[in-house]
Amino acid sequence: METTARTKYLALGLIIIASLFIFSDRFYSPMYTTESNNARFNQWIDYYSECDGYTVEYKNFETYRGDSDVMTLRQASTLAGDVQKVRQITGSVTVYFDWENDVIFFRGSGPDTTLQYCYFVNF
């Protein structure tokens, strides 16, 4: 009888320890920056989040669009080069993203210094 009680306590202990590992795995899993279903978009955000000199912030694209004077749609490779140039010139750059619309954008310079330029790419 004593062996059966020990076996039950041992089994109960193992179940508790196993459940702690299962639930703690959820707490320590990586937190994703976006809630987008677009894997390529998420890869871009993850890339900028991990690089030095880049700040990544969520911003609603429609609101940002209203605050900008000139909106320029870019190809993904062109936008990446533009962001890299700004980073090299200024030392840091903020890249904005709107995961509801899968848009990545940033404020850049243009020919007229009095205007606000926004360069963006849709995924």
Distance CA 47, CA 57 (A): 13
Q: Is 9 a residue whose pLDDT tops 80?
A: no
What pTM, to 2 d.p., does this model score?
0.67
Domain layout of the chain by residue ranges: 31-122
31: tokens are 């937190």
Higher pLDDT, 17 or 102: 102
pLDDT tens column, 29-79: 444 556 788 888 888 888 888 888 999 999 999 988 888 899 999 999 899
Average pLDDT, the chain: 82
pLDDT of residue 31: 47
Predicted local distance difference test score (pLDDT) of residue 11? 72
pLDDT of 89 over the 70 cut = yes
The CA-based angle 105-106-111, given to 5 degrees, is 120
- The total of other beta-carbon atoms located within 10 Å of residue 108's CB is 18
Predicted confidence band at 23 (pLDDT cuts at 50, 70, 90)? low
* Residue 75: per-residue pLDDT: 93
